[in-house]
Amino acid sequence: MRRAAVVGVGQTECKTRNLDVTFPGLVHLAVTRALEDAGLTIGDVDAVVFGSSPEYFEGVNHPEFWCGEASGGYMKPQMRIHTGGTVGASTGIAAFYHVASGMYDTVLAVTADKLSEGVVQLGLSTVYDPIFGRQFACGAPSAVAIQSRWYMHKYGATEEHSALIAVTNRLNAVKNPYSHLKIPNISVEMVMKSPYISEPIRLLDACPASDGACAMVFQEEKKAEKTCKKPAWVHAVSAVAEGVGYVDRDWAIPLALNKAAKKVYHEAGIANPFKELDVVEMYEAFTYQEMIWMEGMFLCEEGTAMKLIEKGAHEMTGELPINPSGGVLSTNTIGASAMQRQAEAALQVMGKAGEHQIDGVRRGIAHGWGGGIQFHTLMILGDEKP
């Protein structure tokens, strides 16, 4: 396969309500920053891949057309990817395949959502089946509450474990200039005292709804080496689907993530991911998912993630830092969230993560989930050519 690398990353500051900018404006800001970061202009870009999540969020169908000039896709090949929560990652992966196919050398991927312009949980409740599901449609928190409770019941994880995860992510977010929710004085006690929004998920166990955008520039090998002194090479990608409503589904074991993880580790030649990966950026919109995804991507044995959390292995100074950026728990635009994971992993590999940089990152992994908690994406990025 043709090699491809990330040579530029652009993010917008994320907040509850970005009143001074339109949805295309957000897209444009991220694109401009990604091109500046790469030292390229839109004229260097051969194709654009656009991603955003349900169009009910902004109330505009096919928003890629409305944003077409802002994304730089005007009179270029541009298509929109939309896979729910994974869309940011699916868009980055699509940009990778655009390059790997040999059809395009420089591909811009951009994702965004302006969640303040819609009612997010209403939009997410329409995921539920109109005949069998709408009566109890309950947005995302209640669905993940069921998953969390399932995991706690199965393995004995507690609300304290969840609070530890919240604290780590929220402390990390303070160092990330683009993150939305910053609570520098966060403590386990504060998390445990926050009200339930859907048991066992408390307010501080949950992500905010953010306005924001993220863009990445992918290039083929020769151009990437010219553009960037230290590009982040794409070592492996995967996006796997699972079913959603089948009877025997075990919500604590993400089969799609298992399958995706096996594929990317195999392709990247990784035998012991916990040892061989230097940083993880994962999509946990709610704290408990961090433990489920850790096990799902084989960072530890089934039911043992809580021990790593107790040890602090996931902290900035731990054995395998998870979400130095503060993660989705601190910033959730939905549309851009899974791309921000890839972008942050790339920044870590490129050594450009600023205050939340982990020393000596050689290889990082970015994760996304979406749909009825059944789509999972992974991308491994490294400082050496694959």
Partner 1 sequence: MPRRIAIVGSAQSKFKSKLADQHYGELIYKAVMKALEDTGIGIEDIDTVVSASCDMLDGRSISNVFVAEAMGAFLKEETKVEEDGSFAAVYTFMRLLSGAFDTAMIVAYSKGSESHPHFYTGLQTDPHFLRPLDLDDLTVGALQANVYMNRYGVTGEQCAKVAVKNRKNGSKNPYAVLRKEVSLDEVMKSPVLASPIRELEAYPVTDGVCVVIMAAEEKAKKMTGAPAWITGAGHIMDGFYPGHRDLAELKGLRKAAGDAYRAAGIKNPLGQIDVAEVSESFAYQELMICEALGLCGPGEGGKLIDGGKTEMGGALPVNPSGGALCANPFMATGLVRIAEAALQVSGMAGERQVPGAKTALAHGSSGLGLMANAVVILSKD
What is the amino acid identity at position 230? K
Rounded to a whole number of angstroms, the minimum distance from the CB of residue 333 to partner 1 is 15
Of the two residues 140 and 313, which places its CB atom closer to partner 1 in the complex? 140
The yes or no reply on residue 193 touching partner 1 (CB under 8 A) is: no
- For partner 1, what does the binding mask look like between residues 247 and 276, x meaning CB under 8 A? --------xx--x-----------------
CA distance between the termini of the chain: 10
The yes or no reply on residue 53 touching partner 1 (CB under 8 A) is: yes
Classify residue 207 by its DSSP letter.
P
The yes or no reply on residue 75 touching partner 1 (CB under 8 A) is: yes
Classify residue 209 by its DSSP letter.
P
What's the rounded Cα separation, in Å, for the pair 144 and 193?
20
Rounded to a whole number of angstroms, the minimum distance from the CB of residue 275 to partner 1 is 27
What's the rounded Cα separation, in Å, for the pair 15 and 1?
39
Of the two residues 178 and 369, which places its CB atom closer to partner 1 in the complex? 369
Among 8, 10, 73, 321, binds partner 1 (CB under 8 A): 73
Looking at the DSSP assignment, which residues form a beta bridge with residue 363?
A: 382
Rounded to a whole number of angstroms, the minimum distance from the CB of residue 212 to partner 1 is 19
The yes or no reply on residue 74 touching partner 1 (CB under 8 A) is: yes
Of the two residues 79 and 358, which places its CB atom closer to partner 1 in the complex? 79
The yes or no reply on residue 60 touching partner 1 (CB under 8 A) is: yes
- For partner 1, what does the binding mask look like between residues 85 and 104, x meaning CB under 8 A? -----x--xx--xx-xxxx-
Report 297-326 residues binding partner 1 (CB under 8 A).
none
The yes or no reply on residue 146 touching partner 1 (CB under 8 A) is: no
Stretch that binds partner 1, among 37-45, 82-90, 224-232, 345-353 (CB under 8 A): 82-90
Rounded to a whole number of angstroms, the minimum distance from the CB of residue 90 to partner 1 is 5
The yes or no reply on residue 284 touching partner 1 (CB under 8 A) is: no
Of the two residues 25 and 351, which places its CB atom closer to partner 1 in the complex? 25
Stretch that binds partner 1, among 236-244, 268-276, 285-293, 348-356 (CB under 8 A): 236-244
The yes or no reply on residue 2 touching partner 1 (CB under 8 A) is: yes
Long-range contacts, stretch 180-186, CB < 8 angstroms, 24+ apart: 180/14, 180/15, 180/16, 180/208, 180/210, 180/212, 180/330, 180/331, 180/332, 181/207, 181/208, 181/326, 181/329, 181/330, 181/331, 182/326, 182/330
Closest by alpha carbon to 192, among 214, 209, 213, 167?
167
Residue 365 main-chain phi, psi, to 5 deg: -125, 140
Q: In this structure, what is the dihedral angle of CA atoms 176, 177, 178, 180, given to the nearest 10 degrees? A: 80
Count of alpha carbons within 13 angstroms of residue 131, beta-carbon side: 0
Among 19, 20, 185, 246, binds partner 1 (CB under 8 A): 246
For helices 87-100 and 337-350, the axis angle rounded to 10 degrees is 60
Of the two residues 186 and 328, which places its CB atom closer to partner 1 in the complex? 328
For helices 139-155 and 288-296, the axis angle rounded to 10 degrees is 60
Residue 240 main-chain phi, psi, to 5 deg: -115, 140
Stretch that binds partner 1, among 12-20, 220-228, 242-250, 350-358 (CB under 8 A): 242-250
Report 118-137 residues binding partner 1 (CB under 8 A).
123-124, 126-130
The yes or no reply on residue 290 touching partner 1 (CB under 8 A) is: no
C-alpha torsion sign, points 309, 341, 171, 116:
negative
Query: Is residue 371 classed as helix, strand or coil in its secondary structure?
Result: coil
Check if the beta carbon of residue 219 is closer than 8 Å to that of residue 231.
Answer: yes
The yes or no reply on residue 113 touching partner 1 (CB under 8 A) is: no
Judged by the rule CB under 8 A, the positions of this chain that interact with partner 1 are 1-2, 22, 53-56, 59-62, 64-66, 68-69, 73-84, 90, 93-94, 97-98, 100-103, 123-124, 126-130, 238-246, 255-256, 259, 370-372, 374-375
